[in-house]
Structure formats: structure tokens, C-alpha cells
């Protein structure tokens, strides 16, 4: 079921359009799952083209071993020289614990101007990096240091740029706890260099802190500059998606699927026992796709009656999630406009997951698992026209028939797969193709057999369709 709603917004806030496409009418159960595709379109509508740099605070953290100094020797000074005027910034170097190397002295933050940029670039040439011993403290220590610094800078956008060669990788029991502490306090982009980093913790950083994880073989300075420029295109630094549900809904989850896969954390609302707020960040002009999942109990609800299970709100724009409990074999499922978008959303998630699992299996030498997973990724890539997925598969396998999912993995260098796993987990995806305007499938009024969208007579009983 599709709802397209918009409301006027106050300048300079962006214009918002919210649409809900329901996956289908659920069958009654104590734990029935209701899934809906949320599409949020944001237009600038008079908002400034660039966020003023004075509203940004950025930490550039360099988690790199001394043996990889060449990778940052020229990139870091170039990125510092390109900082916009009036942005707040700090640079952290490496050691057993993160070390603030700029600004020096008692000031925790520098504000960029010509002299500050020149001094920072000069100091970065002697940036402390990891030695052989002792082992670096781990990613949780970088996050904790950044969080403490940013807490004293009350600006709209607080961001960490982490450059890592995997020096801080390894079992870190504090990482999940620190990621929870950082939620809502900062966002993070990760740039991986070298060949020996572990992709999983970097993907966790990017997903949980609403950023990207990217392998950079060349052009690190340009990548850092582009990340900061992207922050300035943010029209709304934080915008919660609020979901109010009926009492029979026991579980609520929401995840962003495009353009970036992000896990969203639901926050209960004080005094509103059936309301949840999901903070989202760095809203630019464009479209985002989300998957909303509700788990509901049908025990006290009437059957075959349209019911509102939730109200979704983004800013001042609202849209309901409406469905009915469908009794199997007694009545046909309701034909919902846009229902295919939920299936497509789930399929694109499976495509990314299959690609990542296939690459990980290949890294571990499990060729049978790699063949199965990469084959599924190839088949779905053909369906959605995702040529980049097929290009990734061709790097490690021979594609015999992409449409049917037949691939033959090759034995490859395990170290070369880290960058590919990062791309599979963090590469931006295009919004789903438009499906909400499709015509619903007609049902035969006599035997309730579904028919094609252009059908004029029932294929089962021959009656003329409405």
C-alpha cells in the first residue's frame, strides 16, 4: 500500500517526501512479521548549498605503522592544506595510545586559516606512528579519544576520519561498547591502506557510525579532502525517523539499505511506551531507502480488516503503515501497489551479503561456499543491473552464466581480498527503481485467482475481469 505525502517546511530546512510500500498482508500469528519499504526524498528547498565550515569539527586520526609512513607522508599535508577556512580540526598520531600531535600545547582544537594549515602540514611531517612494540591499543581507543575531544566542541557536525593499515586490528572486547557510546556523538569515515587490514571491524565502524569504509591504494589526500567536502553538503546533520506503533506490535527495527547500508539504533521515547526514534545523520539532497520490520501479535485484532500498525514520521511529514490479517485459503491476499519494492529491497541486501560471504569464503579457501555465494550475487546483479558486482566477481572467478548464477572461483591471494570485502560491505548503492506507480494485479471476482496486470479474462474460470 503506497502513501505519498509531503508538507511545507520552514526555510532553510530541506523539503521531505515520505512513502511507505507494504510487502503484503500478513497471516495471523503470535509473532507475525510485517515489512515495509520506506523511501525518503530530500530536496534542498532553499537550504544553503554548503554548510558553513564553522559548524564542522573534524579529527584526522592516523593509525599506521612506521613501515607504512610513505602512504601518508604526502597525503596528510595535502589534505591539511585543503581544509576550508574556519573548520575546527585536530590531528591524532599513533602510539600505544592515540597521541594529539596538532594543535600542540594546551589547545585541543585548531581553527583553519592560512597560518594554521601551514603549521599543521609542517608538523604532520614528523607525525608519530606505531613501532613494533608495544601493540597499539585498538580501535576502541581511537573512538574513545575522538569522542572525548569532540564532546568539547558543540558544533553541528562532529566527524572522525580514521586512516588505518590494520595496526589496531585484533580482538577488542571494548569495541561494541565504545560504538554504542559514540552513537549520536560523532560520525566516521575509514580509509584503509596497505594489504593486511581486517575488513570486519572497519565495516562495523562505518555502519554503526553512519560513514563509509574505503580502501585507498592511491590518492589518500584527495579522498580525505572529498570526505570533508561531502560533510559540507549536508543540509541536515541529524534527522530522526520516528515510528509510533499500536500496542500489539512487540518489536520494531529499521535499517538503511541505500545509499549506504547502516544499522539504525532505536531509542524508546520517555513517556511514550509505543514510540521509537531512529537517529539518522548527514542528510544530503537525494533519496534514501529503508526497511522497516514490525513483529506483531494478531490475537486481539479483527481479521480481514484494514488496520494501522504504525505511523512513520520524518520531520513534519507522516505516513501510516496499514495492513490487514489475511486468512490463508479462505481469502486471497490483498494485491498491494508497490509490494515488489520490499522484495527488491530484500534481494539487494542478499546480493551484497552473498558477495561479501563469497569473498570471505574465498579468503578462507572454502571454494564450494565461494562458488555458491558468488553465484547468487551474480544472478541478483544481473536482475538489478549492478555491473560493479559482476566486475568484482570477474576479478576472482570465471563467470560461466551470470543470469543462472554459474561461476567458477579461482585461487587468489588472500591479502588482495580485503579491499573487495570492504567495497561489498560499504560501497554506496543506488536507490531502488521506481515501483510504487505500478498497476496492482487484478483478482478474479469469482475464483480469486490473481491475473497479470494487463489481463482481461481469468485464466482459471474465464470470467471477464474488472
Are the CB atoms for 395 and 374 separated by under 8 Å?
A: no
Grid coordinates 573548520 are at which residue?
Answer: 87
Cell numbers standing for residue 354? 552473498
pLDDT of residue 133: 66
Q: What's the chain's length in residues? A: 466
Q: Over its length of 466 residues, how does the chain's per-residue pLDDT go in tens digits?
A: 333 333 333 334 557 889 888 877 788 888 899 999 999 998 866 555 678 999 999 999 999 999 899 999 999 999 999 999 999 999 999 878 899 999 988 889 999 999 999 999 999 988 988 876 666 778 999 999 999 999 989 898 999 999 999 888 766 889 999 999 999 899 999 999 998 899 999 999 999 999 999 999 889 999 999 999 999 988 788 889 999 999 999 999 999 998 888 889 899 888 888 999 999 998 888 899 999 999 999 888 888 888 999 999 998 899 999 988 887 665 544 444 455 678 888 888 899 999 999 999 999 999 999 999 999 999 999 999 999 999 999 999 999 999 999 999 998 988 889 999 999 988 887 777 654 333 344 455 555 444 444 445 554 566 665 5
Given CATH 3.90.45.10, say whether it is the number of domain 53-232: no
Cell numbers standing for residue 454? 494487463
pLDDT of residue 439: 34
Q: Which helix (H) or strand (E) holds 356?
A: helix 339-363
Grid coordinates 606505531 are at which residue?
Answer: 130
The CA distances from residue 93 to 164, 232, 298, in Å, are 11, 25, 56
Query: 0.85 exceeded by the pTM?
Result: no
Residues of the chain with CATH 2.60.40.3670: 2-45+236-334
Q: Which residues of 158-171 are buried (b: 16+ CB within 10 A; e: fewer)?
A: bbbbbbbbbbbbee
What is the maximum alpha-carbon separation in the chain?
A: 86
Is there a cis peptide before residue 259, judged by omega within 30 degrees of 0? Answer: yes
Separation between Cα atoms, residue 104 and residue 90, nearest integer Å: 10
| Measured torsion, CA atoms of residues 277, 280, 281, 287, in degrees rounded to the nearest 10 | -140
Residues of the chain with CATH 3.40.50.410: 53-232
Q: Which helix (H) or strand (E) holds 273?
A: strand 272-278
Return all residues near 445 (Cβ < 8 A) that are at least 6 apart.
463, 465, 466
pLDDT of residue 173: 84
User: Per residue, what are the HEC states of 359-425?
Assistant: HHHHHCCCHHHHHHHHHHHHHHHHHHCCHHHHHHHHHHEEEEECCCCEEEECCCCHHHHHHHHHHHH
Sign of CA dihedral 81, 83, 87, 90: negative
pLDDT of residue 131: 77
The CA distances from residue 26 to 22, 55, 120, 302, 350, in Å, are 10, 46, 59, 13, 22
User: Per residue, what are the HEC states of 81-128?
Assistant: HCCCCCCEEEEEECCCCCEEEECCCCCCCEECCHHHHHHHHHHHCCCC
User: CATH for 2-45+236-334?
Assistant: 2.60.40.3670
| Measured torsion, CA atoms of residues 357, 363, 364, 370, in degrees rounded to the nearest 10 | 50
pLDDT of residue 7: 33
For the beta sheet containing 317-323, the strands, ordered from the edge strand earlier in sequence to the opposite edge, are: 267-269, 272-278, 241-245, 307-314, 317-323
pLDDT of residue 444: 57
pLDDT of residue 353: 94
Crossing angle of helices 199-208/417-426, nearest 10°?
Answer: 20
Are the CB atoms for 379 and 350 separated by under 8 Å?
A: no
**DSSP-assigned letters across all residues of 427-460:** S--PPPPP-TTSPPPPB-TTT--B--TT--B-TT
Return all residues near 385 (Cβ < 8 A) that are at least 6 apart.
none
Separation between Cα atoms, residue 455 and residue 350, nearest integer Å: 32
Separation between Cα atoms, residue 304 and residue 324, nearest integer Å: 6
**DSSP-assigned letters across all residues of 139-167:** HHHHHHHHHHHHHT---SEEEEEEEESST
What is the CATH class of 343-426? mainly alpha
The dihedrals phi and psi of 65, each to the nearest 5 degrees, come to -80, 155
What letter does residue 331 receive in the DSSP assignment? S
Residues of the chain with CATH 1.20.120.1690: 343-426
Amino acid at each position: 500500500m503506497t502513501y505519498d505525502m509531503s508538507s511545507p517546511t520552514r526555510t532553510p530546512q530541506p523539503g521531505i517526501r515520505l512513502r511507505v510500500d507494504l510487502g503484503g498482508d500478513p497471516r495471523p500469528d503470535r509473532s507475525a512479521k510485517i515489512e515495509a519499504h520506506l523511501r525518503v526524498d530530500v530536496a534542498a528547498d532553499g537550504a544553503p548549498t554548503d554548510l558553513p565550515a564553522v559548524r564542522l569539527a573534524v579529527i584526522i586520526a592516523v593509525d599506521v605503522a612506521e613501515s607504512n609512513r610513505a602512504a601518508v607522508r604526502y597525503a596528510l599535508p595535502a589534505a591539511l592544506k585543503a581544509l576550508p577556512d574556519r573548520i575546527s580540526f585536530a590531528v591524532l598520531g599513533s602510539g600505544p595510545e592515540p597521541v594529539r600531535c596538532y594543535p600542540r600545547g594546551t589547545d585541543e582544537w585548531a581553527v583553519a586559516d592560512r597560518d594554521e594549515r601551514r603549521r599543521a602540514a609542517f608538523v604532520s611531517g614528523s607525525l608519530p606512528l606505531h613501532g613494533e612494540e608495544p601493540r597499539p591499543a585498538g580501535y576502541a581507543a581511537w573512538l574513545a579519544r575522538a569522542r572525548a575531544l569532540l564532546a568539547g566542541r558543540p558544533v553541528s557536525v562532529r566527524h572522525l576520519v580514521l586512516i588505518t593499515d590494520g595496526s589496531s586490528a585484533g580482538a577488542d572486547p571494548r569495541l561494541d561498547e565504545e560504538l554504542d557510546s559514540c552513537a549520536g556523538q560523532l560520525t566516521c569515515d575509514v580509509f584503509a591502506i596497505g594489504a593486511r587490514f581486517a575488513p570486519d571491524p572497519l565495516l562495523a565502524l562505518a555502519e554503526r557510525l553512519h560513514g563509509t569504509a574505503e580502501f585507498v591504494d592511491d590518492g589518500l589526500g584527495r579522498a580525505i579532502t572529498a570526505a570533508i567536502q561531502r560533510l559540507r553538503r549536508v543540509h541536515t546533520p541529524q534527522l530522526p525517523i520516528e515510528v509510533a506503533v499500536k500496542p500489539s506490535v512487540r518489536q520494531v527495527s529499521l535499517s538503511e539499505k541505500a545509499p549506504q547500508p547502516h544499522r539504525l539504533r532505536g531509542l524508546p521515547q520517555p513517556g511514550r511506551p509505543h514510540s521509537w526514534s531512529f537517529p539518522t545523520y548527514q542528510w544530503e539532497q537525494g533519496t534514501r531507502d529503508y526497511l522497516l520490520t514490525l513483529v506483531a501479535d494478531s490475537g486481539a485484532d479483527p481479521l480481514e480488516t484494514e488496520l494501522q500498525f504504525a505511523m512513520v514520521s520524518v520531520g513534519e511529514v507522516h505516513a501510516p503503515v496499514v495492513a490487514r490479517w489475511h486468512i490463508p485459503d479462505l481469502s486471497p491476499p490483498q494485491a498491494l501497489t508497490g509490494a515488489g519494492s520490499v522484495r527488491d529491497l530484500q534481494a539487494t541486501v542478499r546480493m551484497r551479503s552473498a558477495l561479501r560471504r563469497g569473498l570471505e569464503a574465498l579468503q578462507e579457501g572454502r571454494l564450494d561456499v565461494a562458488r555458491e555465494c558468488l553465484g547468487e550475487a551474480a544472478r541478483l546483479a544481473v536482475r538489478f543491473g549492478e555491473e560493479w558486482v559482476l566486475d568484482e566477481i570477474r576479478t576472482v572467478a570465471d563467470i560461466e552464466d551470470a543470469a543462472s548464477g554459474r561461476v567458477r572461483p579461482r585461487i587468489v591471494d588472500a591479502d588482495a581480498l580485503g579491499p573487495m570485502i570492504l567495497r561489498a560491505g560499504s560501497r554506496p548503492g543506488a536507490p531502488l527503481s521506481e515501483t510504487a506507480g505500478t498497476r496492482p494485479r487484478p483478482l478474479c471476482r469469482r475464483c480469486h485467482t490473481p491475473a497479470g496486470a494487463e489481463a482481461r479474462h481469468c485464466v482459471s474460470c474465464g470470467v471477464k475481469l474488472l
